[in-house]
Amino acid sequence: MNNLALFASGSGSNVENIAKYFKKNNSTNISCVYINNPNAYVIERCINLGLPYKIFTREDFYDSDTVLSHLNELKPDLIVLAGFLWLIPSKIVKAFQGKIINIHPALLPKYGGKGMYGMKVHEAVVQNKDTETGITIHYVNEKYDEGSVIFQKSCAVTEADSAEEVAHKVHALEHEHFPKLIEDLLNK
């Protein structure tokens, strides 16, 4: 049985999508959803889906081994950042080298780095009059959005598209491709 650990900070739509995808697959289990925001809607999604979750603080993550120890106990085959906004500490990156992936709502290296997430990315795409955007799934290293790219998929952006419309297109790509790519990585 493959074990997944998910990390999320916000609404959790990717968490829900991944959970529903793997519910049909008896060979993959979501061991835990790690959440750094005690007010995030992803908690409701976890409760509704029956997913185990753990809320942690900045201190748990950066200043102690609380999260790392819990991950070591779970022994996940893959750690998936599904809308998680904090930089992963080097101690976790080193302990799970090549086993942590992230999805970014743009075609990296464009619109990556600290502070570039969610609507900020889509607003930048519209403001710069880009004709395409998309998703990037990449391995995680000690820097924001700089790990090796695993997969990219693009979509067209028209002059008439608002940032909200771009976000909708990008979410559709995330939901279509992210679970499949996770499954492919687990089956390697």
Which pLDDT band holds residue 17 (cuts at 50, 70, 90)? very high
* pLDDT value at 27 more than 90: no
DSSP string, 48-89: HHT--EEE--HIIIIISSHHHHHHHHH--SEEEESS--SPPP
pLDDT digits (tens, 9 = 90+) for 87-135: 999 999 999 999 999 999 999 999 999 999 999 999 999 999 999 999 9
* pLDDT value at 20 more than 90: yes
pLDDT digits (tens, 9 = 90+) for 30-55: 999 999 999 999 999 999 999 999 99
Quick one: which of 36, 33, 39 has its CA closest to 14? 33
Write the single-letter amino acid at 126.
V
Percent of the chain surpassing pLDDT 90: 96
DSSP state at residue 152: E
* pLDDT value at 25 more than 80: no
Q: Where are the domains of the chain?
A: 2-186
| H/E element, 173 | helix 163-186
Tell me which fold the domain 2-186 belongs to: Rossmann fold (3.40.50)
Q: If you average pLDDT over residues 53-73, what whole number do you get? A: 97
- How do strand 28-35 and strand 2-8 relate by DSSP bridges? parallel
Supply the residues annotated as catalytic: 104
